A = this chain, B = another copy of it.
Amino acid sequence: MEPKIEEKLLLKNIKPTPMRQLVYRMLTQEETALSLSELESKFDKVDKATLYRTLKTFEAHQLIHSIDDGSGSIRYALCDEDCTCRPEQLHLHFVCKICQKTYCLKEKPIPQPDLLDGFTYESANFIVKGVCPSCQK
């Protein structure tokens, strides 16, 4: 399994340093999106700036995408293998009001919005808030 991570990074033209492999593995273990500080707290000791730059690199190479979920901090989640982050590939994100977790709803594409004359569509961010399955009682 070790060599796989290295390959995933190489596939997206990211030099697979130990640090990056570590961060990548951490992200694969999450079912919801993580913020910089949440990610930071999952390590015994890690430098925030390095982590920050690692995430920026991952994002620039479309290994992860960032989600502005209105929580005040940006969260990050892995992209699909074949994702190029084009407007048509964008999906919904769901924020649970109870557990505060942010879910990627990758099978729910963002609907093309019906705009007024003169407005052109280039991208969008659709955040849905409610209660997630684990928090339903």
Contacts and interface: CB of A to CB of B under 8 A. Distances in A.
B128 A115 contact: yes
Given A125-B125, A125-B126, A120 B108 contact: no
A125 B116 CA distance: 18
Interface stretch (A11-19, A37-45, A48-56, A129-137): A129-137
Contact of A117 (B68, B111, B131, B133): B133
A97 interface: yes
Contacts of A108: 113-116
A124 B122 contact: no
Contacts of A114: 108
Measured as residues with beta carbon below 8 angstroms from the partner, the interface class of chain A is 20 to 34
Contact of A119 (B94, B107, B116, B127): B94
Contacts of A136: 118, 120
Contacts of A133: 116-119
